[in-house]
Structure 1
Amino acid sequence: MAHNILLIGGHGKVAQLLTPLLLARSWNVLSMIRSADQKNTIESLKQGQPGKLDVLVSSVEDVQSEADAQKIIEQVKPDWVIWTAGAGGRGGAPRTMAIDRDAAVSFTKASIHTPSVKKFLTVSYISSRRNKPSWWSGEDWDSALKVNNEVLPTYFQAKVAADEVLTVLSKERFDAEAKKGVPENERFHGISLRPGALTSAKAGGVKMGKITCRGSVSRETVAQAIAAVLETDGARGWIDMLDGDDDVGAAVKKVVKDGVDSVEDEDFEGMKERAAKL
């Protein structure tokens, strides 16, 4: 099936590696970019692939509400949405919150509230969580706390808020569709893909699921993982990943088959309360 994908943050490094992988699967991609001078770079990614590639010049900084995001969803008419946008540390704390939290939450809500959108995948990061998971060591948790509280405090607050909104609202829609008798593979699937520190190394193997948070992962591997997650029926929830020895596609299938969701040990009721305020 030729899916129509809205790729938000299309000029980013991971998104540029991802775009040809999506097109190679005969999926159609609408790459949303910040400025017109990025357009030629994006259009060069098609490289004879069977999927259709279009470009939308529209800055995520202009998306300040669910209604703003909804206008873009209605224009593009995707059935899958991928969020890879981010402030990238530029513009200080206000810009990080405006993009990584507010615009991300706006697109998350608009996507989940649009019945024709069936999947929303956000690229988060492995330490974006409030509670220590049972499979992490004390050293793992100390490392995560240092990143979240000292190194990237504003980024953490933005990303974890967006992750929680996705988690809460996607579960609500998934459960509501289940009550209506919608088959599981046709229900909405919300996915938070959570890589470790990103590198420019060549793509390799991975480890996924309930793993340590200490480590890195190639951007090429992350791009491969996004494509693999999207094409794997049943993939949803939080998927942690680092460089490792497992084949990407096989690792995704195992996580899905085993029902592994790294959101485990988070406080879902607390999530609901916080998400309701955004």
Structure 2
Amino acid sequence: MAHNVLLIGGHGKIAQLLTPLLLARSWNVTSMIRSADQTAAIEKLGQGQPGKLSVLVSSVEDVQTESDAQKILDQVKPDWVVWSAGAGGRGGPSRTKAVDQDAAVAFTKASIHAPSIKKFLTVSYIASRRNRAPWWTDADWEAAQKVNNEILPHYYKAKVAADEVLTVLAKERFDAEAKKGVPENERFAGISLRPGTLTDKPAGGVTVGRIPSRGDTSRATVAETVVAVLDTEGAKGYIDVLDGDEDTVGAIKRLVKEGIDNVEGEDFEDQKKRASQL
């Protein structure tokens, strides 16, 4: 089936690696970029690919509400949405909040409230959580706390808030569709893909499941994992990924079969309270 994918943050490093992989599957991609100056670089990614590539020049910073996001969804008409945008630490705390929280939440809400959209995947990071993962060691938890509270505090606050909105609203839609008798493989999938420290190394194998909070993940591997997750029925929830030795496609299928969701350890009711305030 030729899916229509809206890729938000299309000029980012991961997104540029991801775009040809999506097109190679004969999926159609609309790459959303912030500046017309970036158009030529994106258009090159579609050359010789079976999928159709479209470019949408529209800055995520202009998306402040669910209504703003809905206008873009109405224009593109995707059935899958991938969020790979980010302030990248540029513009200070206010821009981080505007992009990584406000715009991300707006697209998350609009996507989940659109019946035609079946999957929403956001690229987050492995330490974006409030509570200690039950499988983490003391050193894992200490490292995550250092990143979240000392190194990237504003980014952490924005990302964890957006992740929680995705978790809560995706579960509500999934459960509502279950009550309506929608088959499980046709229900909405909300996915937070959570790599470690990003590198520019070539793509390789992965380590997934109940893994440490510390380690590297190449951007190319993240891109390949996004494709594997989108293409695997039943893949949803938090998916932590580091560089490793397991085949990416097989690893994601194993996660689904074993029912592993790295959201384990988070308090859903607390998430629900916070999400309702955004």
TM-score after normalising by structure 1: 1.00
In structure 1, the partner of 2:150 is 150
In structure 1, the partner of 2:240 is 240
Letter in 2 for 1:77: K
Letter in 1 for 2:267: D
Letter in 2 for 1:40: A
Residue 133 of structure 1: CA displacement?
1.1
Q: Does 1:201 align with 2:220?
A: no
Distance in structure 1 (CA, Å) of the matches to 2:133 and 2:64: 33
Residue 47 of structure 1: CA displacement?
2.3
Residue 38 of structure 1: CA displacement?
0.1
Superposed, 1:114-133 pairs within 5 Å as 114-133=114-133
Deviation digits for residues 239-263 of structure 1 (CA, Å, limit 9, x no counterpart): 0000011011111111111110000
In structure 1, the partner of 2:59 is 59
In structure 2, the partner of 1:163 is 163
Residue 44 of structure 1: CA displacement?
0.1
Residue 185 of structure 1: CA displacement?
1.1
Q: Does 1:106 align with 2:106?
A: yes
Segments of structure 1 that go 5 or more residues without pairing to the other structure are none
Deviation digits for residues 43-71 of structure 1 (CA, Å, limit 9, x no counterpart): 00012110000000000000000000000
SS of corresponding position for 2:111: helix
Distance in structure 2 (CA, Å) of the matches to 1:270 and 1:244: 33
Letter in 1 for 2:179: K
Q: Does 1:28 align with 2:24?
A: no
Q: Does 1:187 align with 2:187?
A: yes
Deviation digits for residues 66-124 of structure 1 (CA, Å, limit 9, x no counterpart): 00000000110000000000000000000000000000000000000000000000000
Distance in structure 1 (CA, Å) of the matches to 2:89 and 2:144: 18
Q: Does 1:262 align with 2:245?
A: no
In structure 1, the partner of 2:9 is 9
Distance in structure 1 (CA, Å) of the matches to 2:68 and 2:151: 32
Letter in 1 for 2:36: A
SS of corresponding position for 1:141: helix
Residue 187 of structure 1: CA displacement?
0.7
Distance in structure 1 (CA, Å) of the matches to 2:185 and 2:40: 36
Q: Aligned-pair RMSD on alpha carbons? A: 0.4
Letter in 1 for 2:79: D
In structure 2, the partner of 1:49 is 49
Distance in structure 1 (CA, Å) of the matches to 2:209 and 2:155: 23
Distance in structure 1 (CA, Å) of the matches to 2:256 and 2:138: 27
In structure 1, the partner of 2:173 is 173
Distance in structure 1 (CA, Å) of the matches to 2:61 and 2:134: 37
Residue 17 of structure 1: CA displacement?
0.2
Percent identity between matched residues is 73
Letter in 2 for 1:241: V
SS of corresponding position for 2:97: helix
Letter in 1 for 2:191: I
Segments of structure 2 that go 5 or more residues without pairing to the other structure are none
Distance in structure 2 (CA, Å) of the matches to 1:144 and 1:133: 10
Q: Does 1:69 align with 2:69?
A: yes
